Structure 1
Amino acid sequence: MTTTHSATPTTESENMTAITIEFDGREVHGTLADNATARSLLAQLPLTLSFSDYGGQEKIARLSQPLSTDGAAAASDAPAWTIGYYVPNQALVLYYDDVGQFNGIVPIGTYDTAGDAITRLSEFTATIRKTS
């Protein structure tokens, strides 16, 4: 069996989509993975959502439309700086602390640590858009 290799290998970053999260006069940059759930969110952007703190480890905002979970694991871990979809609540989640593994968490991307401003606000409204 012959294996061929591309002259320019594809890296994970080439398959990710850049996004901007705007809130409270700030911009936080992130990337969305190339999976069905992230693509489903991308199709809804731009979105303006109201986030609130949950458990001192994440900010959560309910989405008006569910995201696809095709191919997603039933349970996943969400380390700090993960963008996730929490299936049971149909919510977009910005994790700022590691919550461990739970059923219903679908990681869909990451955001940069400049997002630490997110941790200081108990509630905020953010607009999420694809970065051009």
Structure 2
Amino acid sequence: MKKIFLLLGLAAALGLSACGGTQGTTQAAPAAQNTAAASTQSTHKAILTVDGHKLPVTLRSEPSANDLYSRLPLTLEFKDFSGMEKIAYFDRRLDEKGQKVGCHPMAGDLCVYQPWGNLSIFYVDFKDDSNLIPIGHLEEGLDIIKAQSGNFTATLTKAE
């Protein structure tokens, strides 16, 4: 009889310790979220002017985005590509050394397509692509980008 109570006590203690382990895992998640939030604080603010509209852009703090920011102001000629993105080419490629490549772009994301070196502004969600370098996000005005038909000129400047 003592052995049965001892086994039941051990089983209960094991069950309680398993519950405690789950609680510890739950508490670790907010710390990871805080780390992600801290990494996004180191960004550059820019303005994309399209057809007289000033659209706020946040550029990541990564090699390609830093290189782009250092070149501002910059006027680019955009065209539609595949009904999903507007693309423009730089006079010379952005710095890609040490750059993370591959992402799952969402509408409003700015990326560089590594094989061609062009800038892409996605106006629809896209699939994972191992050739895309994420460099920033258009904070508002995506409807203005999407509404542009044919080629159009836009100027990217540092926000003041």
Q: For residues 30-74 of structure 1, what are the alpha-carbon distances to aligned partners after superposition, in whole Å with 9 as ceiling and x for unaligned?
A: 100110110011111110000001111100001111111223334
Instruction: Return the offset for 1:104.
Output: 1.7
Q: Which of structures 1 and 2 has the larger relative contact order (alpha carbons within 8 angstroms, sep 6+)?
A: 1
Instruction: Return the offset for 1:11.
Output: 2.6
Instruction: Return the offset for 1:86.
Output: 1.0
What is the 5 A alignment of 1:42-61?
42-61=69-88
Q: For residues 49-105 of structure 1, what are the alpha-carbon distances to aligned partners after superposition, in whole Å with 9 as ceiling and x for unaligned?
A: 000011111000011111112233342221111011111111111111112112320
Percent of aligned pairs with the same amino acid: 30
Amino acid paired to 1:131: A
| Structure 1 residue runs without a partner (length 5+) | 1-8
Q: Which residue of 1 aligns with 2:107?
A: 80
Q: Which residue of 2 aligns with 1:17?
A: 44
Instruction: Return the offset for 1:112.
Output: 1.8
Instruction: Kindly tell me the number of residue pairs found equivalent between the two proteins.
Output: 124
Q: Secondary structure at the match of 2:119?
A: strand
Q: TM-score, normalization: structure 1?
A: 0.86
* Structure with a larger share of its residues in strand: 1
Q: Secondary structure at the match of 2:72?
A: coil
Q: Would you say 1:99 and 2:112 are equivalent positions?
A: no
Q: Which residue of 2 aligns with 1:125?
A: 153
Instruction: Return the offset for 1:23.
Output: 1.3
**What is the RMSD of the two structures over their aligned residues, measured on CA atoms?**
1.7
Instruction: Return the offset for 1:113.
Output: 3.0
| Structure 2 residue runs without a partner (length 5+) | 1-34
CA distance in 1, matches of 2:115, 2:40: 29
